[in-house]
Amino acid sequence: MIAIKNEHELEVMRQACKITAAARALAGEMVRPGVSTKAIDQAVHDFIVSQGAKPSFLNYSGYPASACISVNSTVIHGIPGHYTLKEGDIVSVDVGAYYKGFHGDCAATFACGAISTEARRLIDVTKQSFFEGIAQARKGKRVQDISHAIQTYVESNGFSVVRSFVGHGVGRQLHEEPEVPNYGAPGRGPRLIPGMTIAVEPMVNVGTYDVHILKDGWTTVTADGKLSAHYENTVLITDGEPEILTVTEGL
């Protein structure tokens, strides 16, 4: 069942999402050569807690960290550890914050120092594909109108869209109905209704869209070892333009 939020619930969600977006921005500022992924995770944890919230991901189905930090060919769910970032890495950071009963969820891919032209284009196309998608996030449209717009834009730029993982509803639960794929035929899926809150999150690969989950049960990498990028925001369906709840200037 798709949860439709009332105005009071949305006000709380806006606060949760503001914290989440600020945590993402903090993580992005820390992406530079010599910084460990564990240090970024600790900073995200400490910031979220300082705001009176809880990291949504910590202990979620056993996940051991507060952020997912995925470097280069890691698509999603990279577990922070002792890896030290290097010049030329691209670093996807996915964060969530739980505040007064509601979650926010967002992600972005950041450049570590100077990166290749291909890597920069991948990051830019991934981000723009999100905006192509939410141009369809309007009352009366269907979920896969978003999906189709993302896929069309990504593939027109020569990249591929991950299919094994999708966006989702978000609110009282971190993952709610409906699923929001980043591919598919338009005109399908649940109809978009004001008060729906969804996490739209294209995951885009340079090569094949096939992925592989490592033995830790979390870390998901591209099957061909090529680069991947990720961009996500929590979005509210309204009577008019969609509202990005995890908005941060520059992100």
- List, in order of start, the domains of the chain with CATH numbers: 7-244 (3.90.230.10)
Mean of pLDDT over the chain? 97
106-113 average pLDDT score: 98
Whether pLDDT at 49 is above 90: yes
Predicted confidence (pLDDT) at residue 249 exceeds the cutoff of 80: no
User: Read out DSSP for the chain?
Assistant: -PPPP-HHHHHHHHHHHHHHHHHHHHHHHH-STT-BHHHHHHHHHHHHHHTT-EESSTTGGG--SSEEEEETTEEE-PPP-SPBP-TT-EEEEEEEEEETTEEEEEEEEEE-SS--HHHHHHHHHHHHHHHHHHTT--TT-BHHHHHHHHHHHHHHTT-EE--SS-EEE-SSSSSEEEEE-SS--TT-SSBP-TT-EEEE--EEESS-S-EEE-TTSS-EEETT---EEE-BEEEE--SSS-EETT--TT-
Q: What is the pLDDT of residues 66-91, one digit of tens each?
A: 999 999 999 999 999 999 999 999 99
Task: Tell me: pLDDT of 243 over 90.
Answer: yes
The pLDDT assigned to 248 comes to 80
